[in-house]
Structure 1
Amino acid sequence: MEDKGKGNERWNAAIGNLTEMSANLESLQKILLKKAVFVDEETFAKASLASEQARTIKVLEQRVETLERELDAAITAAAHARSEKRQAEAAQKAAELRAQETTKELENTTRVFELHMEELRAKQAEIAKRDNDIKLLEAIIQTLGGKEPRSSSG
């Protein structure tokens, strides 16, 4: 942050210097145009150089402003990207928690199902044992009673 502040300070100072030089050159140019003074070649060369430098300064100022706008846009885009990344991470964590909860629920349902199956098998074994006991008792009764076996459908 400090580097950015120092960088902005330096850019602002440079822009201020360039603006001041540009104003000075424009003033000189206006005076020359109004007064239409004839000068020697050296003075003319210096004035031409100053005029060229003023145009260069103006172009550079525009470039600095463009770069500042691009930098601001890049900073804004980076902040937006960080925000989207945080939102995506939060959504991913929420999805992971939902997946864990669903997995736990499925595991619990599986345990309950297994318990019911064990209970069902135990009842089936009990029914089979009682059915065998009933058949045995019927056979004893038939043997003692001397009757023919009844046909059973089960």
Structure 2
Amino acid sequence: MEPYVQEMPRRLYAGREIRTCNANESNPETGKIGPLWQTLRENPFEDRIPKTASDTFYGIHFDYENGSQGDYSLIAGVEVDSLEKLPEDLAGITVPETKCLVFPFSGDLPDSIIGAWQRVWSYFAQDKAPRRAYSYDVEHYYFDEECSGEIFISVQ
């Protein structure tokens, strides 16, 4: 499926945060994203957040250094109504309204999300592709029968 343009509204998210880079994520020995999601499955935190806005999960990529080649931060968590009174072990972020290209995915995880990110990188490697903003990119997981979701990539 081809990506499509969508305005992502301002949203608040809370969850567990890591700092990583794509070079580290390509090696199972140094990757942090897989263990982050495993920790969320083994130690859920949603019941400790006073105002959860939805029951779906998100991965928010932000604070990029040097585009896709450098370090970035990732919060794996949920959408919330407020960032007040978060437990100390959780991070919160406000993502402003952002113009995005949306890349849908479905299938078994983690293969489907890895494949979706490969489509993102291939798409933006094209000469005529819009420029990525490298501000906020959001993975939205529905966890339905198809394990579907979308990656929202911020563009300039």
TM > 0.5 between the two? no
What TM-score, normalized to structure 1? 0.19
Q: Looking at both structures, which has the greater relative contact order when contacts are Cα pairs under 8 Å and sequence separation is at least 6?
A: 2
Higher strand share: 2
Q: Which structure has the larger Rg over C-alpha atoms?
A: 1
Higher helix share: 1
Q: TM-score under structure 2 normalisation?
A: 0.19
